[in-house]
Chain A
Amino acid sequence: QSALTQPASVSGSPGQSVTISCTGTSSDIGSYNYVCWYQHHPGKAPKLMIYEVSNRPSGVPDRFSGSKSGNTASLIISGLQAEDEADYYCSSYTSSDIYVFGTGTKVTVL
């Protein structure tokens, strides 16, 4: 099972929006709505930001949203803030009954 493909980095100025893509296959993202997004500040525990493609856990700002089309999922961060600077990883359940993470995207706030 290969890692899902994400851009290595994206950047934006405070207040702008950025979109992170996560491309898989018909054996993972394309077949299941079990796509999650995690925020990871190095040295800290990863934090669940989005589950089941577009749902936010309580406490996650509504600036974070998710969507999916075909084999590609996306995380949109609107109104970018300094504290959003972190690494972001998508994950998906797969037809092999295991999970796969994305390659990770570093978000930089300019």
Chain B
Amino acid sequence: QVQLQESGPGLVKPSGTLSLTCAVSDGSISSDYWWSWVRQAPGKGLEWIGEISHSGTTKNIPSLKSRVTMSLDKSKNQFSLKLDSVTAADTAVYFCARGSHFRWHNWGQGALVTVSS
């Protein structure tokens, strides 16, 4: 069973860049899946951020499009999310997930990122 684990700084300053990595074990990110990011702000629901395919094609929500960068690191079997120019509104638990056929079977436990000075 594939395992996903998010990691990255838990505290980011306003206007800075949020950087998270999702390490994948017992599965290869070169497999035919989409590798996704979902977040949940405090007291709010889930919000799909975007995803990257095994070949590097990306999709993301229009509201974050100009600030989001997603990438793959096949040598480390992990994928990453960068979110620029963060504000307090970007404070959330960030989940990574593996998807195929329009659904996500496997999820990480989530990583809390707080935007604060």
Are A48 and B46 neighbours in the complex by a CB distance under 8 Å?
A: no
- Is B107 an interface position by the 8 A CB rule? yes
Interface string of A77-107 (1 = CB under 8 A from B): 0000000000001010100111111111000
Are A3 and B105 neighbours in the complex by a CB distance under 8 Å?
A: no
Are A38 and B46 neighbours in the complex by a CB distance under 8 Å?
A: yes
- Is A70 an interface position by the 8 A CB rule? no
Interface residues of B in 68-117 (CB under 8 A from A): 95, 97, 101-105, 107-110
Are A46 and B95 neighbours in the complex by a CB distance under 8 Å?
A: yes
Which interface class (under 10, 10 to 19, 20 to 34, 35 or more) fits A?
20 to 34
Are A46 and B102 neighbours in the complex by a CB distance under 8 Å?
A: no
**A55 nearest CB neighbor, chain B only:** B103
The verdict on A101 contacting B95 (CB below 8 Å), with A34-B102, A36-B103, A45-B108 known, is: no
Residues of A within 8 A of B104 (CB): 36, 38, 46, 48
Interface string of A2-31 (1 = CB under 8 A from B): 010000000000000000000000000000
Are B107 and A46 neighbours in the complex by a CB distance under 8 Å?
A: yes
A85 CB to nearest B CB, Å: 17
Query: Interface of B with A (CB < 8 Å)?
Result: 38, 45-48, 50, 59-62, 95, 97, 101-105, 107-110
